[in-house]
Structure 1
Amino acid sequence: MADTKREIERKYEATDDTRLPDLTRAAGVDRSVHRGLTELDAVYHDTADLRLASDALTLRRRTGGADEGWHLKFPVAVGIRDELHEPLSDDLPRPLAALLRSRVRHAEIAPVVRLRSARDVHHLLADDGTLLAEVSVDRVHAERLTGEGRGTTAAWTEIEVELADDGDPAVLDAVEKRLRKAGIRPAKSSSKLARALAETTPARNGEKPGKDTPRTAGDHVLAYVRKQIRAIVDLDPAVRRDLPDSVHRMRVATRRLRSSFKTHRRILDREVTDPLGAELKWLAAELGLDRDQEVLDERIGSRVEALPAALTLGPVRGRLRAWSAARRTG
């Protein structure tokens, strides 16, 4: 499995003339150390219809910097993403491709945007030398590689503040306070890719059509069906990563979708839903095996925790984890 880290960061608007304020005046920050300039070259990949970007996922192959390689980022909350990393290679690593399968299906994943950044890095340290956050001033040049805007470029400067591993989010609040006092405001775009796509996509006349409001019984049924399909697609990477409660939630969505096919068989096309129902039955059975193991792990784990320490000498928990992993993959 790819290396995973939780990325907690905030982005701010800037210009070439913007200068960082004295961030040592932020609460908890003792000193700022300039780490120098790094050149980064990242090529972002997606399907032709930008399925990953539409779900706020980013997939890139980046050279330069300490963590060059392939990066896949899943949104967790505002300003928080899980970043999976694989070593640099020419082709998309299979572990990352597997996590994208539910979204891209059989569509080709290809380069869509190239971002070249000159990153000026500063480390914010506590009085004991602990790294609190990394502040970067990025001068970005974007080029659209495909689609209607192919060949279109854009350039901007932004400030990025990333919390150190296991850092206190209060540091981000303290740094933001100093940045705001200096007239620096949060960025409107959630990511460099989102901004690059927005600024290299040709303008269209007219407004985008709004979502249709369900009116008939069939509309409401289809809206519910789409909701369960969306849940299954979204949870697929989490299940493959063995994230807590993901198997249970995906199993629930599978059961609900299958049930809706049966309940509304007079509305839905059975030539389509009956074969899908059979596939969902198979999927539920596969998920059930993992879910049963999850429940068993929880029960055994709670019983072990309740035992006196004298009865749990040695690598008891490690053996339980190995036993559980063997049953899941057996």
Structure 2
Amino acid sequence: MSTFNKILIAALAVQVALAVIIQARSGSDEQIRRPEPLLAKAGLDQATRIAIYDFRAPDKGEAEAPAIELRREGDGEHSTWVLGNYWGAPTKSGTVTELIDKLAALRTSGPAVTSEVRHDQLEVAADHYRRKLEIESPSGVTTLYVGKPSRARTTFVRMNDDTDVHAVSGISDGGISALVTSWMDNRFFEADFDRVTSLSVVNQNGSYEFARGEDGAWQYMQGEQPYPIPEGKKLNAIAVTNWVKSMVRIVSTQPEDPNRDLSQPLATITVRLKPAQPAGEAGEVGEAGETGEAAVSEAPEEHVFEIGPESENENAYYLRMRGTSKAIRVAKARIRPVVDMNDEVVLISAED
């Protein structure tokens, strides 16, 4: 064998050896960098509190407080999530579960940055972040800083006091809302229009009461008897229907303090309902083993709403349900005709 051929064989052997070494190292790196749950030790499935802090920059001098505080009430399957910093208002169904699932799905293959120097630049510093989450569970408190997006469609995040910064997908500051409207259940009160037996309104213009007659038509009442409507006038039955409809579906724009002083309300509105039909049709066996008709309560329902001015929003009223710990901000446009009810709109010309 010539010297040249020996050189070629030796070079080939070196190339094969290098390929084997590279392949081995590649396999080792894949094993080491296999994505793992970022928040495996946070106890997400047993979380009792999740606080969401809005964007914070180093020049912000005010005391740090969460924009949203989600708290779990109750145990097991019967537990519910409420807004702890909004007087325990209920959360919208599925919103907190969706957030927990999102956090549980975060995966990391290792830190993208290991230097504390870059925390401020990536907006994951303790005093400079786009979102901060505090997750409380029996495992303790886990803090997650959510920073700016990276170029690879991921977001930089940092945990607790770690210097390591991870780039993860499936989360962003925009996807974790710091607005109460994103988390609250805006359904404050709902009732079937056909169940309403009467509507009473007391405001600065007087007292008004409307009740359904035996034929289902609205009557203007004076105590227990129909009001003697003057000749040439008639009850504005269309308006009464609209007033009732506005009160059987009340939508909240924001929770409010139920303990606010409302000794002089703008209006007090009472909605009375006939007993609700049980889930099963009449004659069917219900959960308690009774037929539908037998399960109906004999007592009608009465719901009293107290309306006050809303100091922070001129386009809204403060509304509280008497006898409960529930109060909300409600759009003026929706119930203003009821609040401002007067004689001129109740009785109209018989020719109209």
TM range (shorter): under 0.3
Higher relative contact order (CA 8 A, sep 6+): 1
Rg larger in 1 or in 2?
2
Q: Which has the higher strand share?
A: 2
TM-score normalised by structure 1 residue count: 0.26
Looking at secondary structure, tell me which structure has more helix per residue: 1
